[in-house]
Amino acid sequence: MKIIQKKRLLIGVIIAVIGGIMLFSLNHKAQLDKQAELERNREYEVSLVNALKNSYEGIAEIRITDPNYTMPPGDWSCDVEIFFNDKEVIKYGLGHSLQENQNYEGRTTYRQRDFLNSRKGKTNNQIIVVYSNGEERRQ
């Protein structure tokens, strides 16, 4: 009888250890996936800011929110809020590719499109950028 109890206890301990290892492994993978997502978003966000600065003149600040990267990998998009030097502000969603040096695309209304068309040009000075993770930098 004692041998059966010892075997059951040993099996229970083995199952608990294996379960713990699996949980640790899954947690570690989730952390790595989250870090990769943050790095990918930063790469796209820096590229997008440069493209917007090459597209519109008079930008003072850009705020990026709600980044979205499709799985399987392919499309990246976000919402941007652009503050211009003359206190005008526009907010819209757009997609971006790392190969783009300019970005005139976006989900805008006709009024927003007309406004952005009137601002075509280039912003050469550094601007304030608030990235999707809340970090603020000059770029």
Domain count, the chain: 1
Identify whether 83 is part of a domain: yes
Q: What is the pLDDT of residue 53?
A: 98
Q: What is the pLDDT of residue 103?
A: 96
Q: How far apart are CA 132 and CA 64, in angstroms?
A: 5
Tell me the pairing of strands 76-84 and 59-69. Answer: antiparallel
Residue-level pLDDT, tens digit, the chain, 139 residues: 577 777 777 676 677 667 666 665 555 566 667 778 888 889 999 999 999 999 999 999 999 999 998 765 668 999 999 999 999 999 999 999 999 999 998 999 999 999 999 999 999 999 999 999 999 999 9
Which stretches within the chain are classed as H helix? 2-53, 110-118
Q: What is the pLDDT of residue 27?
A: 59
Identify whether 5 is part of a domain: no
Identify whether 6 is part of a domain: no
Q: What is the pLDDT of residue 126?
A: 97
Identify whether 133 is part of a domain: yes
Identify whether 109 is part of a domain: yes
Return the number of other C-beta atoms located less than 10 Å from residue 107's C-beta.
Answer: 11
Domain span including residue 84: 33-138
Identify whether 24 is part of a domain: no
Q: How far apart are CA 51 and CA 115, in angstroms?
A: 18
Identify whether 107 is part of a domain: yes
Identify whether 42 is part of a domain: yes
